[in-house]
């Protein structure tokens, strides 16, 4: 009998072996649930496996962007820099996979293509692109929020004869740009990290910018023994503080409104935060993301820094964002980004008013002019939050697809589950703090919540969990209310689905705060899983391991 003709039975299928999938697998195995994990990539690491473009780095500090579930792990691991580069984070993911012996239950280079809920058996029937079929009581999507890269559909691209790359699907072998003329399309976090490094290597870089971005200097530096010790001595306490914080990370948040202080104090505060580096800049005052007047002062400060750094005034003006409040598109953190435009081999082309017209075999036309290139780097982002879920043919009750149900925007209860899709969990799904938080803290919280639910069901003989429609409707409304109290809806951001033509416009993550969200979840559990309904009917008995079908 071939593998294709077998269906294996497990308690849970995990889709994805990034930071969510790895921790899930560890927890589920420890709790005695039989589990299979499938990973599209050739190895573990998720985001950090795919996003290996030059300059890729995390802009949450390494001491905070790491697992907290195992004291020995967090004490043992040494980070070389304050903000870790992609190879170091990927090495960490690999270390975790080996340390906890996770690889044996992960099937690599295998994409889950379909998952249909069988209402009779109360099980998910899962299929992979390798032809394998698995029957699982629980399906857990650990597929990440920004994992489906998008390349814009520009006329003539298929006839372009040079090399093309996407930052989010970077080749695994070294790419050499020495002596090349390259184009970079896109100036989000990825483009802003890649451009300075590409400019050092290539003969010439032309950056095509649709929208300028606010970017803060990272002021990255090697990890010092003192700093590392200051964390490790009280790691457990610090982690607990992070879990209860607004962002899931410890930042010095000022509790004063921006306009409550004098102009001198305001400028000095911004200057100090600029020099410290990174995203704490946005915590300079407590109303930068809720008051437009306050926000304007921070935005003006950053534009002024750009003018000071960039020598050519025309380029400096083009690089200064003016059409949306600072922080409402994902704030970028860079190493020498604006300085790069002072190099002779870097040029900026504004395509904000007129998009790229078309590609030709050796370049592209923009603003009526032809530009010739050897390579094009697309740093054009992702079909975030829902794109990866929709790539799998997920069908819940009555065969309805998730895509159909979410046609007007994602509908979840707590970002964890969606009504009519029983026993299907999402780790950091739409409607949870997810991308508006330190991802690893949010991942750990969701994994603990999901595995806790499974244990609760096992202890109480429950077969099926599903959110109630009213609870889901209430949560969807609350997520939008929380966003509407902020300036976030004012920007055309990927948080709003604005980067994908035809995508519904609404704010997808939960912006009410990591600590508050955790409390809501804890209360939900304390209230007997309020908002969820359970079916106690025993699922069809399943053979222990593998049967012929």
Please give the residue ranges that form the binding site for ligand N01 (CB under 6 A): 57-59, 146, 152, 167-168, 185-191, 193, 210-211, 330, 351, 355, 379-382, 435, 494, 499
Record the tokens describing residue 539, joined without a space. 């699922």
Residues 343, 199: Cα–Cα separation, whole Å: 8
Q: At what angle do helices 439-460 and 514-526 cross, to 10 degrees?
A: 0
Nearer to ligand N01, 218 or 245 (CB): 218
Nearer to ligand N01, 141 or 332 (CB): 332
Nearer to ligand N01, 325 or 467 (CB): 325
The residue with tokens 């416009």 is 505
DSSP 356-412: --EEETTEEEETTEEEE-SEEEE---B-TTTHHHHHSEEE-GGG-BHHHHTTTS---
Helices (H), 312-360: 313-319, 337-340
Nearer to ligand N01, 138 or 208 (CB): 208
Q: At what angle do helices 292-309 and 263-276 cross, to 10 degrees?
A: 60
**In whole angstroms, how close is the CB of 435 to ligand N01 at the nearest point?**
6
**In whole angstroms, how close is the CB of 433 to ligand N01 at the nearest point?**
13
Q: At what angle do helices 19-30 and 439-460 cross, to 10 degrees?
A: 30
**In whole angstroms, how close is the CB of 347 to ligand N01 at the nearest point?**
16
Residues 258, 84: Cα–Cα separation, whole Å: 31
**Closest residue to ligand N01 using C-beta atoms:** 188
Nearer to ligand N01, 488 or 494 (CB): 494
Nearer to ligand N01, 33 or 165 (CB): 165
**In whole angstroms, how close is the CB of 56 to ligand N01 at the nearest point?**
6
Spell 275-310 as b/e; 16+ CB within 10 A means b.
eebbbbbbbbbbbbbebeebbebbbebbbebbeebb
**In whole angstroms, how close is the CB of 184 to ligand N01 at the nearest point?**
9
Nearer to ligand N01, 331 or 476 (CB): 331
Nearer to ligand N01, 83 or 117 (CB): 83
Nearer to ligand N01, 150 or 451 (CB): 150
Burial of 343 (0-12, 13-18, 19+ CB in 10 A): middle
Residue among 107, 116, 156, 166 nearest 136 (CA): 116
Q: What angle do CA 524, 440, 215 make, to 5 degrees?
A: 120
**In whole angstroms, how close is the CB of 543 to ligand N01 at the nearest point?**
43
Burial of 492 (0-12, 13-18, 19+ CB in 10 A): middle
**In whole angstroms, how close is the CB of 25 to ligand N01 at the nearest point?**
23
Pair 334, 278: CB distance under 8 Å: no
Q: φ and ψ at 46, to 5 degrees?
A: 55, -125
Residues 272, 269: Cα–Cα separation, whole Å: 5
**In whole angstroms, how close is the CB of 188 to ligand N01 at the nearest point?**
2
Residues 431, 114: Cα–Cα separation, whole Å: 23
Nearer to ligand N01, 191 or 467 (CB): 191
**In whole angstroms, how close is the CB of 352 to ligand N01 at the nearest point?**
8
**In whole angstroms, how close is the CB of 247 to ligand N01 at the nearest point?**
13
**In whole angstroms, how close is the CB of 78 to ligand N01 at the nearest point?**
20
Nearer to ligand N01, 38 or 382 (CB): 382
Burial of 133 (0-12, 13-18, 19+ CB in 10 A): middle
């Amino acid at each position: 009998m071939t593998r294709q003709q077998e269906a294996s039975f497990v308690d849970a299928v995990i889709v994805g072996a990034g930071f969510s999938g790895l921790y899930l697998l560890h927890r589920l195995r420890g709790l005695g649930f039989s589990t299979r994990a499938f990973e599209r990539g050739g190895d573990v690491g998720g985001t950090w496996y795919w996003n290996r473009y030059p300059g890729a780095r995390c802009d949450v500090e390494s001491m905070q962007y790491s697992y907290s579930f195992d004291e020995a792990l967090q004490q043992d691991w040494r980070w070389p820099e304050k903000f870790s580069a992609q190879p170091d984070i990927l090495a960490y993911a690999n270390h975790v996979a080996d340390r906890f012996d996770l690889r044996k239950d992960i099937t690599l280079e295998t994409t889950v293509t379909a998952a249909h809920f069988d209402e009779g058996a109360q099980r998910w029937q899962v299929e992979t692109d390798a032809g394998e079929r698995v029957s699982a009581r629980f399906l857990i999507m650990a597929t990440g929020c920004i994992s489906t890269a998008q390349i814009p559909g520009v006329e003539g691209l298929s006839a372009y004869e040079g090399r093309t790359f996407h930052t989010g699907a970077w080749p695994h072998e070294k790419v050499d740009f020495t002596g090349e003329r390259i184009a970079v399309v896109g100036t989000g976090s990825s483009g802003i990290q890649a451009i300075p490094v590409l400019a050092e290597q290539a003969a010439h870089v032309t950056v095509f910018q649709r929208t300028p971005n606010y970017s803060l200097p990272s002021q990255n530096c090697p990890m010092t023994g003192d700093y590392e010790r200051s964390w490790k001595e009280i790691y457990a306490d610090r982690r607990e503080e992070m879990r209860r914080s607004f962002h899931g990370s410890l930042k010095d948040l000022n509790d004063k409104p921006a306009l409550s202080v004098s102009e001198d104090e305001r400028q000095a505060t911004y200057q100090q935060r600029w020099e410290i580096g990174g995203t704490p800049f946005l915590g300079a005052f407590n109303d930068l993301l809720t008051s437009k007047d306050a926000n304007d002062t921070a935005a003006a400060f950053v534009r002024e820094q750009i003018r000071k750094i960039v020598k050519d005034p025309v380029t400096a003006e083009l690089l200064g964002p003016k059409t949306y409040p600072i922080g409402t598109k994902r704030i970028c953190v860079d190493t020498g980004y604006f300085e790069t435009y002072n190099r002779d081999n870097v040029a900026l082309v504004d395509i904000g008013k007129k998009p790229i017209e078309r590609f030709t075999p050796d370049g592209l036309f923009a603003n009526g002019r032809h530009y010739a290139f050897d390579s094009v780097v697309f740093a054009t982002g992702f079909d975030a939050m829902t794109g990866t879920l929709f790539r799998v043919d997920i069908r819940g009750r009555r065969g309805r697809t998730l895509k159909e149900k979410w046609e007007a925007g994602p509908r979840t209860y707590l970002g964890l589950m969606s009504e009519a899709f029983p026993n299907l969990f999402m780790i950091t799904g739409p409607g949870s703090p997810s991308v508006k938080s330190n991802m690893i803290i949010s991942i750990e919280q969701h994994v603990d919540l999901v595995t806790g639910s499974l244990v609760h069901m096992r202890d109480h003989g429950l077969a099926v969990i599903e959110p109630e429609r009213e609870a889901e409707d209430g949560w969807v409304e609350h997520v939008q209310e929380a966003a509407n109290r902020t300036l976030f809806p004012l920007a055309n951001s990927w948080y709003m689905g604005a980067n994908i033509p035809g995508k519904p416009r609404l704010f997808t993550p939960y912006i009410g705060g990591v600590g508050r969200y955790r409390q809501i979840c804890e209360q939900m559990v304390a209230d007997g899983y309020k908002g969820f309904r359970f079916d106690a009917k025993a699922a069809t008995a399943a053979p222990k391991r593998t049967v012929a079908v």
